[in-house]
């Protein structure tokens, strides 16, 4: 064979991973950077699932979406959102084509690992006041000590009214922290395995040290309760009906001299929630019904009324089908879903846990995980060849830069997403999302290129 023929044949036969930097234009650069700015401001305002739902609704209402409650009327061409108890959100555009063609669903989650307060959290010890926490989701405990933490959430008082709490995000606010040993006295602690050096019960938030004037007992705790009561009207007993959580304080930041990356708390999974929202909001062409789901509780197994295992998705599809004159079983059978969740980015500092050929490389576009789970493909929906083939054609047509990956080496660990719970409802589903470094850490890292490819991918899927 001639050299040129060989080259052409090689081009045809071999797979080559694309890097966004190799193909992006000056024009793309501007779009990527502008889109990242919008995402970063979403991140700053949406550190909990509740805040993400509020921000999501703001974006949707601005785009003409109206609130829908179960049992309400749905008209073809209408744009709706269902606010599920302030903790998860379903936005949908009712298509003008036959509803039995199915619904295109983008499903992300908006809860992130964090430190929830216990129900009886406050105590005083040797002149300090603390709040006890119970961590939520998979955290590496040692990462959460000695960093500034903010308190977010809601307290429902005895009279049934709710108070929103955010302390530690404004520059003028105080912050909180969990203390750690000084290296000089940590000889014994330093010998412990990383996972056991800090016990769950030791993750206590330091919140004050000044006693209440004139008090004789529990003086500092007394003062803390008074400060909270003055500001929010709450008492110690109100913690039992509260959802308060400590999250890393501060805003999302550009990372790197080139500003090519974003360092922030909660990329998992707002980095997919935001493009799922913008995909449905910006959509103009689709005649099909499209839906964006922002779920809660993914980090602890998708259980409960705001988790993806809840039958609300089936109920909602039934309502849509009924209103638009279709059989809900047929609608689900013909629906398609991208479970929009993050993947582990290949980290050259830790090559030992990755199998590079099947890893998500930062800047190489949005990542498809045909299957997640752990060794032996346990606990995953494992999308079919046909469905992956379909998505592949959609991406090709839209010029999306994408790659496939597994979470890491087969026997080193694993993880799941909401994909299998949606697939269990007889809906074709595959995982798609952005690669993250330091996933579940107080500060996670993503690339702006990959974020933008996720936006392109989810938008193309909705068309
Ligand atoms: Mn996730
Ligand atoms: Mn996660």
Out of 182-191, 374-383, 439-448, pick the least confident: 374-383
- Tokens standing for residue 316: 């909602």
Q: Which ligand is nearest to the CA of 439?
A: 2
Does 120 have pLDDT greater than 90?
A: yes
Q: How confident is the model at residue 434 (pLDDT cuts 50, 70, 90)?
A: very high
185 CA from centroid of ligand 1 (Å): 37
Phi, psi of 430 (to 5 degrees): -145, 150
Beta bridge partners of residue 293, listed in sequence order: 90, 107
Enumerate the domain spans of the chain: 15-112+265-462, 114-248
- pLDDT for 286 equals 87
Cβ-based burial of 105 (10 A; exposed 0-12, middle 13-18, buried ≥19) = buried
- pLDDT for 2 equals 93
User: How far apart are the C-alpha atoms of 121 and 131, rounded to whole Å?
Assistant: 5
- Tokens standing for residue 226: 């008074």
Are 252 and 44 spatial neighbours (Cβ–Cβ below 8 Å)? yes
342 CA from centroid of ligand 1 (Å): 5
User: How far apart are the C-alpha atoms of 126 and 179, rounded to whole Å?
Assistant: 15
- pLDDT for 375 equals 87
**Mapping DSSP to helix (H, G, I), strand (E, B) and coil, where does residue 269 land?**
helix
Q: Residue ranges of the alpha helices (H) in 123-218?
A: 187-191
165 CA from centroid of ligand 1 (Å): 25
- Tokens standing for residue 113: 């690992």
User: How far apart are the C-alpha atoms of 123 and 130, rounded to whole Å?
Assistant: 5
Calculate the dihedral angle through the C-alpha atoms of 450, 297, 90, 458, rounding to the nearest 10 degrees: 20
Residue-wise pLDDT for 263-295, tens only, equals 999 999 999 999 999 999 999 988 999 999 999
247 CA from centroid of ligand 2 (Å): 15
Looking at the chain, how many residues does it have? Answer: 463
User: pTM of the full predicted structure?
Assistant: 0.97
User: How far apart are the C-alpha atoms of 432 and 269, rounded to whole Å?
Assistant: 11
Q: Which ligand is nearest to the CA of 107?
A: 1
* Side-chain-side CA neighbours of residue 244 (13 Å): 28
Cβ-based burial of 313 (10 A; exposed 0-12, middle 13-18, buried ≥19) = buried
Q: Which ligand is nearest to the CA of 341?
A: 1
Residue-wise pLDDT for 203-224, tens only, equals 999 999 999 999 999 999 999 9
User: How far apart are the C-alpha atoms of 21 and 365, rounded to whole Å?
Assistant: 10
Q: Which ligand is nearest to the CA of 417?
A: 1
Residue-wise pLDDT for 94-117, tens only, equals 999 999 999 999 999 999 999 999
Does 428 have pLDDT greater than 90?
A: yes
What share of the chain has pLDDT > 70, as a percent?
A: 100
Out of 65-79, 131-145, 237-251, 408-422, pick the least confident: 408-422
232 CA from centroid of ligand 2 (Å): 32
Q: Which residues contact 31 (CB under 8 A, 6 or more apart)?
A: 452
Beta bridge partners of residue 131, listed in sequence order: 122, 205
Mean pLDDT of 3-14: 96
415 CA from centroid of ligand 1 (Å): 9
For the chain, give the mean pLDDT. Answer: 97
Phi, psi of 39 (to 5 degrees): -65, -40
83 CA from centroid of ligand 2 (Å): 22
CATH topology of domain 15-112+265-462: Aminopeptidase (3.40.630)
Residue found by looking up tokens 């502008």 in the block? 34
Does 373 have pLDDT greater than 90?
A: no
Q: Which helix (H) or strand (E) holds 155?
A: strand 149-156
β-sheet with 444-447: strand ranges across: 253-255, 261-264, 444-447
- pLDDT for 285 equals 81
Beta bridge partners of residue 104, listed in sequence order: 290, 336
Q: Which residues contact 42 (CB under 8 A, 6 or more apart)?
A: 55, 59, 270, 274
Out of 49-53, 360-364, 369-373, pick the least confident: 369-373
Buried b / exposed e over 404-431, threshold 16 CB at 10 Å, is bbbbbbeeeebbbbbbbbbbebebbbbb
Does 76 have pLDDT greater than 90?
A: yes
Domain 114-248, CATH class in plain words: mainly beta
437 CA from centroid of ligand 2 (Å): 12
User: How far apart are the C-alpha atoms of 100 and 425, rounded to whole Å?
Assistant: 15
Query: Which residues have their alpha-adjacent CB atom under 5 A from ion ligand 2?
Result: 268
Are 105 and 291 spatial neighbours (Cβ–Cβ below 8 Å)? yes
118 CA from centroid of ligand 2 (Å): 21
């Amino acid at each position: 064979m001639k050299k040129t023929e060989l080259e052409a044949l090689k081009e045809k036969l071999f797979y080559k991973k694309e890097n966004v930097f190799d193909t992006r234009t000056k024009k793309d650069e501007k779009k990527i950077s502008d889109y990242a700015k919008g995402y970063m401001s979403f991140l700053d305002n949406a550190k909990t699932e509740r805040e993400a739902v509020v921000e999501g609704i703001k974006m949707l209402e601005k785009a003409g979406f109206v609130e829908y409650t179960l049992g309400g009327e749905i008209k073809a061409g209408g744009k709706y959102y269902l606010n599920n108890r302030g903790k998860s959100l379903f936005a949908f555009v009712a298509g003008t084509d036959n509803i039995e063609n199915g619904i295109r669903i983008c499903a992300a989650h908006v809860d992130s690992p964090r430190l929830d307060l216990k129900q009886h959290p406050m105590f005083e010890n040797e002149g300090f006041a603390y709040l006890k926490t119970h961590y939520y989701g998979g955290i590496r405990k040692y990462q959460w000590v000695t960093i500034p933490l903010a308190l977010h959430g809601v307290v429902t008082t005895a009279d049934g009214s709710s108070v929103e709490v955010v302390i530690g995000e404004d520059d003028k606010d105080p912050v909180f922290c969990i203390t750690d040993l000084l290296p000089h006295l940590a000889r014994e602690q330093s010998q412990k395995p990383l996972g056991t050096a800090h016990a769950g019960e030791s993750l206590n938030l330091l919140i004050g040290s000044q006693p209440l004037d004139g008090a004789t007992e529990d003086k500092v705790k007394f003062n803390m309760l008074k400060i909270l009561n003055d500001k929010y009207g709450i008492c110690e007993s109100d913690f039992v009906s509260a959802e308060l959580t400590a999250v890393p304080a501060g805003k999302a930041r550009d990372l790197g001299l080139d500003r090519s990356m974003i360092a922030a708390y909660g990329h998992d999974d707002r980095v997919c929630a935001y493009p799922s929202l913008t995909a449905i909001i910006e959509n103009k062409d689709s005649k099909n019904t499209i839906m964006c789901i922002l779920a809660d509780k993914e980090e602890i197994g998708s259980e409960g009324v705001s988790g993806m295992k809840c039958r609300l998705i089936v109920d909602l599809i039934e309502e849509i089908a009924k209103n638009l004159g279709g059989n809900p079983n047929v609608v689900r059978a013909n629906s398609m879903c991208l479970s929009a969740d993050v993947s582990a980015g290949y980290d050259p500092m830790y090559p030992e846990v990755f199998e590079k050929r099947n890893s998500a490389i930062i800047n190489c576009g949005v990542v498809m995980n045909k299957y997640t789970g752990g060794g032996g493909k346990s606990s995953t929906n494992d999308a079919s060849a046909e469905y992956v083939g379909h998505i592949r054609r959609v991406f090709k047509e839209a010029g999306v830069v994408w790659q496939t990956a597994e979470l890491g080496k087969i026997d080193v660990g694993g993880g799941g997403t909401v994909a299998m719970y949606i697939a269990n409802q007889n809906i074709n589903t595959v995982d798609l999302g952005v690669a993250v470094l330091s996933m579940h850490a107080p500060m996670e890292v993503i690339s702006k290129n990959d974020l933008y490819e996720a936006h392109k991918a989810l938008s193309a899927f909705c068309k």
